[in-house]
């Protein structure tokens, strides 16, 4: 099945949803998505399931880390370092604060 095939993307979304259900509530997981394989994706266009984790996951001993599957429904899973947080202020709010000063 080609990555250009709509059925592939349906399968990829279902596989991503399985990972979301299993791991998104884990404190070390920050995001689960579909994307190109890091470093390899630009050349091959390989689409993978990406689990983004906090740095502490990478520093933990292997036996202390949550284990992720190597693939889900035939789609490879890769772990990516990524900590994210919501921005609470918008640029427009920053401008208003600066103008009020």
Residue whose C-alpha is closest to residue 13's, from 68, 73, 66: 73
Arithmetic mean of pLDDT over the chain: 86
What mean pLDDT do residues 16-44 have?
Answer: 87
Q: How far is CA 63 from CA 43, 50, 59, 60, 87, in A?
A: 33, 21, 11, 8, 34
pTM value? 0.77
| 16 burial via Cβ count (<10 Å: 0-12, 13-18, 19+) | buried
Look at residue 46 in the predicted model and tell me its pLDDT.
87
- Segment holding 47, helix H or strand E: strand 47-53
Q: How confident is the model at residue 44 (pLDDT cuts 50, 70, 90)?
A: low
- Please state, in angstroms and rounded to a whole number, the distance separating the CA atoms of residues 37 and 43: 10
How is the chain split into domains, by residue range?
A: 6-100
């Amino acid at each position: 099945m080609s990555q250009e095939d709509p059925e592939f993307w349906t399968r990829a979304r279902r596989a991503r949803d399985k990972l979301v259900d299993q791991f998104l509530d884990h404190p070390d997981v920050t995001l689960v998505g579909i994307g190109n394989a890091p470093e390899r994706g630009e050349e091959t266009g390989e689409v993978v399931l990406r689990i983004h984790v906090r740095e502490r996951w990478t520093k933990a001993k292997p036996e202390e880390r949550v284990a992720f599957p190597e693939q889900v429904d035939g789609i490879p899973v890769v772990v990516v370092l990524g900590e994210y947080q919501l921005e609470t202020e918008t640029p427009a709010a920053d401008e208003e604060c600066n103008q009020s000063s």
